Structures are given as structure tokens and as C-alpha cells.
Amino acid sequence: MAKHSQATWGGRFEAGPAALMQRFSESASFDRRLAPYDIAGSKAHCAMLAHVGLITAKECRDIQAGLDAILSEITIGTFAWDERLEDVHMNVEHALTSRVPAAAKLHTARSRNDQVATDMRLFFKDACAVLDSRIKAAQVALLATASANKDVLMPGYTHLQRAQPVSAGHHLLAWMEMLQRDRQRMDEVSAKANECPLGSGAIAGTTLPIDREYTARLLGFVDARGRPRVTQNSMDAVADRDVFIEFASACALFGVHLSRIAEDLVIWSSAEFGFVALPDAFCTGSSLMPQKKNPDSCELLRGKSARLQGNLHTLLALVKGLPMTYNRDLQEDKPPVFDSFDQSMVCADVLAATLGGLTFNAERCAAAAEDPALLATDLADYLVARGVAFRKAHHAVGAVVALAEKRKCALTELATADVQRIDPGFGPDWSSVFDLGRALRMRKGTGMPAPAQVSRQIARWRKVLA
Ligand code: ARG
């Protein structure tokens, strides 16, 4: 076993790790994607060491140039990764030391514990910004579809039973709100990530005279007024994985939203509903049944949401019961985070594309919305407007519905005398309630489905997404 391969911590060891242990414990295969953050962190740390006089300006320049060269090699794919060097940090440091003698000073006042915590916080800030923009792109597609179908009448459902009339525009704008909250959560997670752990060292900081604020400022860990933000407890800084969990949680909740949207689309695209046609390019056929067009993109969005929840649970279970502070278990924190990020990104793209190709069958939707029973509540409201107490009105309309059921006719086919026998509050104009257009127009308050209100919301979203 080559002892020199563990130059960073091999001093007290007589032999290097077993090959099995090397394979088992390496993380370079997955944490190499942190290289840009790791190198940014090292460059800032190095600048700080020069700033406080722990290295010379020349040493700093040499180290930074070496790091830049390594980053370009990594970017173009010529860097020689060596999994025996455990992780991204040691791969970069090893390559640097072999080229720049001063690199042996880079790890002054630093540990991989505060280094990996810093890398990940930089990663989260980027990942949240990327997800924000991908979800925004899905919202743009959604808004176009909502606007194109804003007046398509359809039933709204509770308990998956027809409840009250809405428009496709109103329904789609409900999804818009969900996605907006997902974007806000990305923003919040990014703000949580915005503290620099560097200087916490392995657990208890350093005896050397470093300037943590200087490093934080260089890495962009600053508040809105440009003041540096650094972690306030060295033990917490290397043990804390809250942001990992919050990020995975934001992704998991985004996944839950995707899954609910997908489920609506699966139901709507079934022959029984026939409300929408999904784009061919995001559906598949059956190898056996020639007539099939399956809503696979929606089903996979639903399925991916389980995976996003799994990643959150992995992280919660990983951290639970760990004694303070860093424990090697924590190396397992990265695969679920990266997976949540990668899957959330592609899910946002697939949602955008599926929504972009969605077409509504306005006739099918309208036929379902014509069911007069959807306006039973409106009939109760009619009685209320004529002075009947709501509970009494609700009861009376219930009796009207029961009567229509008994006679096997539609509510609208009952005679005025029939309904007046149930409640004298019904006037000769009682059936004017069953005008769907009117019913929708009357729901004109903020957040309601009146066409004018939906148009106002669409205009608001245009501004939000501009
Ligand atoms: N690869 C390690 C991880 O991701 C880096 C930190 C290692 N620290 C240590 N004390 N072994 O957790």
C-alpha cells in the first residue's frame, strides 16, 4: 500500500489503507462536482492567509495560479482524478502540491471539515438559484397555457367529486401559486446557506491569527449591505447539516407539488374525463396495446417525488443521533443532495415541456361543468340573498336535490311550485341561478374564478415573471 498516497494525514500511520477500505471510503467519485467551489474556497482562504501575513504575496499568487490551472483541467476533463486520494479536497491539494511547493502551506488553519461545509454552502447558493430559474421557466409555460385556456369552463373537484364550477385558467393558476412558494423556499434555503464556516477548522478553530470576515467577503458570504456573514460556533459549523435537510425538504415539497399537478393531468387525460390531450412527445405507447397513449411524463413526475422524499429521509436519518461534531457518516450527505438537485432540475424542465404541449378539450370540459348540481351552493346563496339563514337554505337546497333525484330529473327541470313547496323563499326567478356564465362572473372577489378576476391574476403573474 502506497503510504505516500495519504500525504495529508498519513504521518502517524505505518501503512496506508487497505484497497477495500479505499474503495469503500472514497467520495471523489461523487464529490468531484464540488471542485469549482472547493477551488474558490481555497483561493479565498489563501488570499486571507496572505492578507494576515501567514504566507507571502508570491506564495499566494503561485497557489492561486496553480488552483486556476487545476480548475481548467477539471473543466475540460483532463484532470487525473485518483480515488485513492479519498475526496475532491485531497485530489486538488495533492495535484497542487506536486506543482507548487508553497501549496504545502494552503491547509494552514483549515480542515476538511470546515472546507467541505464551505463547499456545500457555496453549492447550495448556486443550486437554489438554478432551481429558482428552472421552476420559473415552468411557470412561464404554465402561464401561457392558463392564459390560452382561461375561459374554458370546467368543474372544480373536492374529494374528486364535482364541487363547483371553475375555469381551466383558475385551476392552472392554483398550480402557479404552488410553484411560486417552491421558488420562495429556494430563496430561503439560499439565505440560510449564506454563512461562511471557514475558520472553524476541524472543530475548535485555530491558534493562528486568521481573518474570517475577510475570507467570507471574498466568497460572497455577505448580507444585503455587503457585511460579511460567518458562522458563530466552530463546533456547530462543522457538525451542522440543517441546510442540507432544508434544501432536500424544499425539493421534496416541490416534488409533492409536481406529483399533484401530474395526478390532475393523468386524471384529465383519461378517456373517462377527456379534458386534456398531453403532448405526444411526452407520452409513450404500449408494446402490446396499439391504441394506448400513456401519460408517462406525468407518471414519472409522480414517481420522482417519492425519490425526492426518500432523499430527505436519508438525510434526516443520517444526522439523527450523531454525536457532536463531524463524523465520517456525514460523507453520505452528498449523494442525496446532488440527486435531489439533479432530479428537481429535470422535473422542472419536463413539467414546463408537458404544460407547453397541453391542449384542452373545451367541449368535454364544458359538458362536465354543465351539470346543474354544481350550482347547488349558488342556489343556497340565492336564498341567503333573499333573507334565508344559510343553514336553513342549505337544508332546503338539499331537499330540492333529493326531489330531483327522486324524480330522476335535473335540478333545472323542477317546477317553481315544487321548490316553493320546499321553501317559500324561492322566487319565480330561482332558476336564473343555473346560468354558468353568470355563476362564474359573480365570483369576482380576489382569488375567485370570475373571468375578470382570472384576467387580473394573469396580468399580475405576467408582472411577477417579467
Ligand atoms: N470527504 C469528507 C466528507 O465529505 C470530507 C471531510 C473529511 N473529514 C474528515 N475528518 N475525514 O465528509
Q: Is 124 in the pocket of ligand 1 (CB under 6 A)?
A: no
DSSP string, 114-128: HHHHHHHHHHHHHHH
What lies within 8 Å, CB to CB, of 385 at 6+ separation is none
Cell 486556476 sits on residue? 68
Pairing of strands 276-277, 359-360: antiparallel
**Mean pLDDT over each residue of the chain, to the nearest integer:** 95
Strand extents, DSSP E, 240-353: 276-277
Q: At residue 170, what is the residue type?
A: H
Distance CA 100, CA 331 (A): 28
User: How far does Cα 276 stand from its chain's mean position?
Assistant: 26
| Ligand 1 centroid – CA 330 distance (Å) | 7
* Nearest C-alpha neighbor of 267 from the set 352, 170, 365: 365
pLDDT for residue 235: 98
For residue 86, the ligand 1 atom closest to its alpha carbon is 1
What the block records as the C-alpha cell of 308 is 425526492
pLDDT for residue 5: 54
* Nearest C-alpha neighbor of 429 from the set 441, 443, 442, 419: 419
What the block records as the C-alpha cell of 411 is 335540478
* Nearest C-alpha neighbor of 438 from the set 394, 375, 362: 375
390-406 residue pLDDT tens: 999 999 999 999 999 99
Q: If 0-12 CB within 10 Å is exposed, 13-18 middle and 19+ buried, where does residue 257 land?
A: buried
CA-nearest residue, atom 12 of ligand 1: 331
Mean pLDDT of the 26-52 span: 98
Enzyme catalytic residues: 159, 286
294-346 residue pLDDT tens: 999 999 999 999 999 999 999 999 999 999 999 999 999 999 999 999 999 99
pLDDT for residue 293: 85
Give CA separation, 47 vs 60, 62, 104, 408, in Å: 6, 11, 15, 83
Select from 241, 331, 334 the residue to mutate for testing ligand 1; criterion: most ligand atoms less than 8 Å from CB.
331
Residue 28 has pLDDT above 50, yes or no: yes
Mean pLDDT of the 36-64 span: 98
**The model's pTM:** 0.94
Mean pLDDT of the 25-44 span: 98
Mean pLDDT of the 50-70 span: 98
Under a CB-based contact definition with an 8 Å cutoff, are residues 106 and 42 in contact?
Answer: yes
Report the SS3 class of residue 435.
coil
Q: Return the percentage of the chain with pLDDT > 90, whole number.
A: 92
Residue 4 has pLDDT above 90, yes or no: no
Q: Cα 62–66–71 angle (5° rounding)?
A: 150
Q: If 0-12 CB within 10 Å is exposed, 13-18 middle and 19+ buried, where does residue 320 land?
A: exposed
Residue 229 has pLDDT above 80, yes or no: yes
DSSP bridge partners of 154: 166
CB environment 113-135: b (16+ within 10 A), e (fewer): bbbbbbbbbbbbbebbeebbebb
Mean pLDDT of the 201-220 span: 98
Distance CA 406, CA 190 (A): 60
Select from 32, 83, 87 the residue to mutate for testing ligand 1; criterion: most ligand atoms less than 8 Å from CB.
87
| Ligand 1 centroid – CA 129 distance (Å) | 26
Cell 421552476 sits on residue? 135
Residue 271 has pLDDT above 70, yes or no: yes
Residue 1 has pLDDT above 80, yes or no: no
Under a CB-based contact definition with an 8 Å cutoff, are residues 360 and 350 in contact?
Answer: no
142-165 residue pLDDT tens: 999 999 999 999 999 999 999 999
Residue 2 has pLDDT above 50, yes or no: no
DSSP bridge partners of 222: 228
Mean pLDDT of the 367-387 span: 93
| Ligand 1 centroid – CA 101 distance (Å) | 24
| Ligand 1 centroid – CA 120 distance (Å) | 12
Confidence of residue 287 (pLDDT cuts 50, 70, 90): confident
Residue 413 has pLDDT above 70, yes or no: yes
Q: Is 301 in the pocket of ligand 1 (CB under 6 A)?
A: no
